[in-house]
Amino acid sequence: MRRSVLPASVLFLADLCVASGSVYLAKIIQRYLPELSLPDEHLWIKAIVFAAVMLTSMYFQDLYNWKYWKNVSGLSSSILLGGGVALIVLALAYFIIPPVGLERDLLLMSLGSTLTIAFFLRWIYLKLMHTAYAGLRVVILGDGDNAKFLLTEIRGGGYPIFFEGYVGRNNWDLASRCLGDVDDLSSVIEKVDPDILVVAPDGWRGTLPVDDLLHIKLSTCDVIDGPTFYEQITGKLLVEELRPSSIIFTEGFMSSPFQDSLKRGFDLVLSLTGFIVTLPIMLITALAIRLDTPGPIFYLQPRVGKDGKDFKVIKFRSMYQDAEKNGPQWASENDPRVTRIGRIIRKVRIDELPQFINVIKNDMSFVGPRPERRFFVDQLEKIIPFYVLRMHAKPGITGWAQINFSYGDTIEDAKEKLKYELYYMKHRSLWLDLLIIFQTLKVALKGRGSQ
């Protein structure tokens, strides 16, 4: 059984219980105060409203993603900001719908206890995530470059994984302990009892201890190969180890006509709704661009769509006119070509809103790989293996790569983005699309990852 210490789902359930329970606890405490405390038959409704606002504000402060609070100072600021946002939203909700409001004393006691317990739950998580009590206890079968890569990448990413050690020849280059030789694999695994055995040898093709691995798989723990382990933990594909056979003989990368029709209906509903809801914002943006700098309001740029077909993406102009008179360039941090208004609308992704029209026209999907220009596609196809695979899906306004990685302006950045895009193409589903859209809202509101 895999052991996990307070993953996001457990933290969410714990916060739900704490937030709703703190309202009842505050009511019990209130009864012992000098002031008169009247019974409240609608307290359960007030507790639900309080908990819903608290959990939403904590989500938007990234308190369910440990990557953004790797230390106590970061955690403290996120908790305080989350509490402040929740207090403002609750005050507004209580003003609009007074019957769901908590009394001032109840509200402050509930808020204080919820934030305090939320802080200590995450503080405990930080203390345990890199110990033997971490999310997964892992043993690696291998003693070469593949094992070294996994140890470096997973530890460097700060993932809640505890490596018990590796099985193979003793190698001082590996920053982990040698648990024994391959001949002792079964006894080592039985003694250590890990959650996962990751098979990541160098050049052992045809010499793997298949009988031992089968026995371990059926009786002791899960057995997976290195690329699959990397994919499950990081949310991206290991392009360096990708083989045609791993695409041909694996599930994913393809969608049925029913899935395509469902996604198209989903795209139409979302894009039409989004266009109507954001129309006032787009009108204000258009006016601001017109007053800020000379030039057109919209920017129509040729991009490469599904199956390599060209189309014109519609965006609000965020750069000075003739910004690419010297040829195509990647956007960079603090790009001098970006206008004052452009810097703002890029930060909160408003420049992408006209792409609702591209989705309605069926040039794009709501979620998919980022559409690139032909100039860069032709370059990257020659340099990055399997880059062409990303063009077997319609490009999207947002995507798995966009929420997990910044725009980037180098070949290595493009390669890293491809890892995320291929992961999405392998695992795409309506549920993953919904997750990406919800995450995109948070990224846009926090202005993260834009240039």
Give the DSSP H or E segment for 180: strand 178-180
Judged against a pLDDT cut of 50, whether residue 227 lies above it is answered with yes
User: Are 409 and 281 part of one and the same domain?
Assistant: yes
Is pLDDT at 174 greater than 80 in this prediction? yes
435-130-4-433 Cα dihedral, nearest 10 degrees:
10
Paired tokens of 163: 């490596």
The per-residue pLDDT for 123 is: 87
Residue 183, CA distances (Å) to 165, 171, 195, 243 in order: 16, 17, 20, 29
Do 122 and 164 lie in a common domain? no
Q: Which is more confidently placed, 321 or 377?
A: 377
Asked if residue 229 belongs to a domain, the reply is: yes
Residues 370 and 414 both lie in one domain: yes
Note whether 356 and 284 are same-domain residues.
yes
Contacts of residue 8, defined as CB under 8 A and 6 or more positions apart, other chains included, come to 64, 65
Residues 215, 279 within the same domain? no
Average pLDDT over residues 71-83: 84
Virtual CA dihedral for 116, 122, 125, 130, nearest 10 degrees?
-130
Number of domains in the chain: 3
Q: Where are the alpha helices (DSSP H) in 61-194?
A: 72-96, 104-128, 145-156, 185-192
pLDDT for 155-165, tens place per residue?
A: 888 787 889 99
Do 225 and 263 fall into the same domain? no
Is 249 a member of any domain?
A: no
pLDDT of residue 253: 79
**pLDDT confidence tier of residue 34, bands split at 50, 70 and 90:** low
The chain-wide mean pLDDT, for the chain, equals 85
* CB-neighbour burial class of residue 322 (10 A; exposed 0-12, middle 13-18, buried 19+): exposed
What pLDDT is attached to residue 444?
72
Note down the domain range covering 94.
8-128
Q: 156 and 119, same structural domain?
A: no
Between 64 and 251, the more confident residue is 64
The reply to whether 3 falls in a domain is no
Mean of pLDDT values over 170-179:
90
Structure tokens at 29: 């405490």
Q: Please give the pLDDT value at position 3.
A: 41
CB 158 within 8 A of CB 146: no
Q: Are strands 178-180 and 298-304 parallel, antiparallel or unpaired?
A: unpaired
Report DSSP letters for 153-172, one per residue.
Answer: HHHHTT-SEEEEEEESS--T
Same domain for 337 and 211: no
| Whole-number Cα distances in Å, 431 to 131, 238, 252, 418, 424 | 32, 23, 15, 21, 12
Paired with 162 in beta bridges are 137
Q: What token pair was written down for 100?
A: 């769901």
What CATH number is associated with residue 149?
3.40.50.720
393: Cβ contacts below 8 Å, ≥ 6 apart = 306, 365, 368, 369, 424, 425, 428
Q: Is the same domain home to 311 and 392? A: yes
Q: Measured between alpha carbons, how far is 198 from 230 in angstroms, rounded to an integer?
A: 10
pLDDT exceeds 50 at position 2: no
Indicate the range of 19-23, 47-51, 248-252, 381-385 predicted with least confidence.
248-252
Q: Which long-range contacts (CB under 8 A, 24 or more apart) does 256-260 make?
A: 259/429
Phi then psi for residue 223, to 5 deg, are -125, 120
Residue 220 domain-assigned? yes
Whether residue 4 is predicted with pLDDT greater than 70 in this model: the reply is no
**pLDDT of amino acid 334:** 65
Q: Please compute Rg for the chain using Cα positions.
A: 26
Average pLDDT over residues 144-156: 90
Higher per-residue confidence, 47 vs 255: 47
Cβ contacts of 394 within 8 Å, gap of 6 or more:
305, 306, 362, 363, 364, 365, 368
Tell me: the pLDDT tens digits for 397-420? 999 998 888 766 678 888 889 999
pLDDT score recorded for residue 311: 94
Mean pLDDT value across residues 226-243: 87
The pLDDT confidence band at residue 114, using thresholds 50, 70 and 90, is: very high
Phi and psi torsions of 316, nearest 5°: -70, 140
Same domain? 198 vs 149: yes
Query: Could you tell me if residue 360 is left (phi over 0), alpha (psi between -120 and 50 degrees) or otherwise beta?
Result: alpha
Show Cβ contacts of residue 395 under 8 Å, excluding neighbours closer than 6 positions: 303, 304, 305, 306, 364, 365, 368, 369, 370, 371
Most distant CA pair in the chain: distance in Å?
Answer: 79
| Structural domain contains residue 144 | yes
Please give the average per-residue pLDDT across 164-168, as a whole number.
93
How much is the average pLDDT of 15-28? 91
Q: Are residues 321 and 196 in the same domain?
A: no
212 and 117, same structural domain?
no
pLDDT band at 1 (very low <50, low <70, confident <90, very high): very low
> What is the distance between the alpha carbons of residues 388 and 401, in angstroms, rounded to a whole number?
16
Confidence class of residue 272 from pLDDT cuts 50, 70 and 90?
Answer: very high
pLDDT for 6 beyond 50: no
pLDDT for 355 equals: 95
Residue type, 405: F
The answer to whether residue 451 sits within a structural domain is no
Confidence check: pLDDT of 364 > 50: yes
Q: What pLDDT is recorded for position 400?
A: 92
Q: Is residue 290 part of a domain?
A: yes
Residue 330 within any structural domain of the chain: yes
Which of these three, 109, 128, 147, is where a domain ends? Answer: 128
CA angle centred on 374, ends 430 and 244, rounded to 5°? 60
| Residue 187 pLDDT | 94
